[in-house]
A and B are shown apart, each in its own frame.
Chain A
């Protein structure tokens, strides 16, 4: 027999799982949320997402070429960063800010650390933090937020000035500051927003964050595939509910409003920047909830999800260190 045989270490068979498959499945699971953002904010949402994705992919490919390493944009991770970054901006932000944010996310938060698997922070959130620090007006001012119903009703997209409206979180925070005795439900219903609107996404907010429902469909799909550890979203959202309830705020409002769903389902569960063990993930999730609530209630910003995730990303190595699972066979030997 003249055929060469292959010799390598065991195991000789491998599962069909791959990083590429995981990333593309995550991208796929974001389609309901993308659809809802189109439904409520019009074509602008799709356009900004495209700008962000194309920038992310081109940046990644360019830097990998420059670093003389294999170009791995087909693994889908840059696309994911692009989508998530776009989902974190207001609908009427100038497109070039998104482009710079996406470039920063990939170039600095991901490739500068060594690429996929080596980044400490969630790249999309670093991109968001960069945009927030550099263009605070465009990222937060009311005139860049869009009122969703008007937007869809106009089909072609309304003019910016006509429909700008504050996000529910901002609205409630401002109102409560003026008069802490008000009920949250009343504040939002006066502005024409119900819990149902918050759940389906019929409120002003970042492109991809408003629809709890669409994000929930996506994350359930991922949980069924086993790509998302259910502990992070469940403990994160559960703890936010508990903390806000204990402090006398409206817990239902706090879990439905803002970027909590997007953060808990897609950003905090990022495999690379979350702890390895189940126990570690639970600690991580409770920490996230603590910072989120702290920023929302006491902080200067109405929203705290992205900063709390970035903050908790920094302690992931520490959490991993302290949550090493008990090894098999490390029990006291039975004395006879």
Chain B
């Protein structure tokens, strides 16, 4: 049986730059900027003040609601400022700036092994929430919320997302090979929290090493299986992955739990293990620093809040032909305004692309070739939606499924007229949300 979905496209994947590079620990940054709001949901509230001494893993804030998580100090040192800092997406929001004392002292209890075998589901969830774990695939949805479905939603599967269909990125691939045990333990913990009878780990076929490692490690576990997915973008989209694995469609506007599934990135599973078993909050993550315009592509373990420029320097600096620097992959990542934007919980890659590869094209008129329709993983009509948005017909675009669009960019990738479809979808979705807010 082939595990895949309808639509999609396979762009050249660029994994060769970093897929064979082991994860390296970054040297400690001198200064970090940790945004209080680096997850989906309410911003967290700062609980430290300027001048406070903080240690690694110490909470800097408290959750600002149920759908919210705290952030933690990623280095030890002194809180220098709490100020508005430009994030990787280009907007400004409050961040705690810590100057390092270069001691790298751990906060009390952080990293100490805990016997978690008798933890109840609620205790596990509390640990996950307190550790500030959010989806590491990019969307950064608080993990404890995902693991708290309403009582009437029975969860049958936890699906771990090791697909990494974004070109270039290799962070998950490396993590699966170098730290399989923590991922699998994390998966078991998540299965326990929601009482899910089955675990599935989905990996794209172009990562044979990871597939082999995960297969070997899970062979003795009856209710956990590893599936090899067809190599096609966006195979790692939540809805596409669920469809590929269990052939169920998440309803429009619904959540995976509506079809009895919780999907989580493999990195997140590892973070769950760290939070519960090692009492270690989410203050560092694996980042692929790669692309054709960086001298020495690497996979690094970086502290949250490290300026991107330090990761770039660690990877040998940029080449002369660098054109765009992205936070994330080339299909869905955000182009950065400046190189100092800090690494956040969803930063899976810092990507340096050349002009030749990341060229900005002039739009040509749509010739109705239908390529975008063929590749849309949600079976929408991208060209129609785009034209409606362009002409201000937002309601019409909404009827055509504008709000279903996850902006994966496959349509824009294949478009021979180089139309900036995703650009218009973003505008359209923002407009619809605005109209809905105004209507309230």
Contact = CB atoms under 8 A, between A and B. Distances in A.
B357 interface: yes
Q: Kindly state the interface size class of chain B when it binds its partner.
A: 35 or more
Contacts of B11: 13, 15
Contact of A328 (B259, B326, B378, B400): B378
A12 interface: yes
Nearest to B351: A12
B335 A11 contact: no
A5 B409 contact: no
Interface in A253-294: 271-274, 276-277
Contacts of B378: 327-329
B366 interface: yes
B386 to A, nearest CB: 12
B134 to A, nearest CB: 20
Interface string A298-335: 00000000000000000000001000111111110110
A249 to B, nearest CB: 33
Contacts of B401: 327
Nearest to B362: A70
A68 interface: no
A13 B381 contact: no
Contacts of A326: 379
Contacts of A8: 324, 335, 360, 420, 423
A327 B379 contact: yes
A21 interface: yes
B323 interface: yes
Contact of B154 (A320, A328, A336): A336
A17 interface: yes
A19 B253 CA distance: 35
A10 B373 contact: no
A12 B369 contact: no
B250 interface: yes
B323 A6 contact: yes
B368 interface: yes
Contacts of A18: 416-418
Contact of B251 (A12, A15, A331, A336): A331
B334 A10 contact: yes
A14 B418 contact: yes
Given A6-B358, A12-B333, A15-B414, A324 B381 contact: yes
A19 B417 contact: yes
B332 A11 contact: yes
A1 B339 contact: yes
Interface in B354-371: 357-361, 364-371
A185 interface: no
Given A116-B367, A117-B368, A330-B251, A10 B409 contact: yes
A8 to B, nearest CB: 6
A7 B336 contact: yes
Given A17-B371, A17-B414, A325-B379, A9 B252 contact: no
Interface string B145-170: 00000001110000000000001000
B186 interface: no
A19 B252 contact: no
B259 A334 contact: yes
A115 interface: yes
A22 interface: yes
B46 interface: no
B330 A328 contact: no
Contact of B368 (A10, A227, A274, A333): A274
A75 B418 CA distance: 14
B422 A9 contact: yes
Contacts of B380: 325, 327-328
Contacts of A114: 365
Contact of B252 (A22, A118, A330): A330
A50 B404 CA distance: 49
Contacts of A13: 11, 167, 330-331, 353, 357-358, 413
Contact of B324 (A5, A229, A277): A5
B395 interface: no
A242 to B, nearest CB: 26
Given A3-B322, A12-B324, A327 B252 contact: yes
Contact of A117 (B324, B357, B366): B366
Contacts of A75: 364
Interface string A24-53: 000000000000000000000000000000
Nearest to A13: B330
B377 interface: yes
Nearest to B361: A14
A22 B332 contact: no
A328 B422 contact: no
B214 interface: no
B17 to A, nearest CB: 14
Interface of A: 1, 3, 5-15, 17-19, 21-22, 72, 75, 114-118, 227, 229, 271-274, 276-277, 320, 324-331, 333-334, 336
18 contacts: A5-B336, A5-B339, A6-B323, A8-B324, A9-B422, A9-B423, A11-B422, A14-B359, A14-B418, A19-B367, A117-B417, A272-B368, A325-B373, A325-B380, A327-B380, A328-B252, A329-B239, A336-B153
State the 3 A-B residue pairs at the shortest beta-carbon distance, nearest first.
A117-B365, A11-B409, A9-B423
Given A7-B337, A329-B249, 9 more contacts: A1-B318, A7-B90, A13-B11, A13-B331, A19-B367, A327-B252, A328-B252, A330-B252, A333-B251
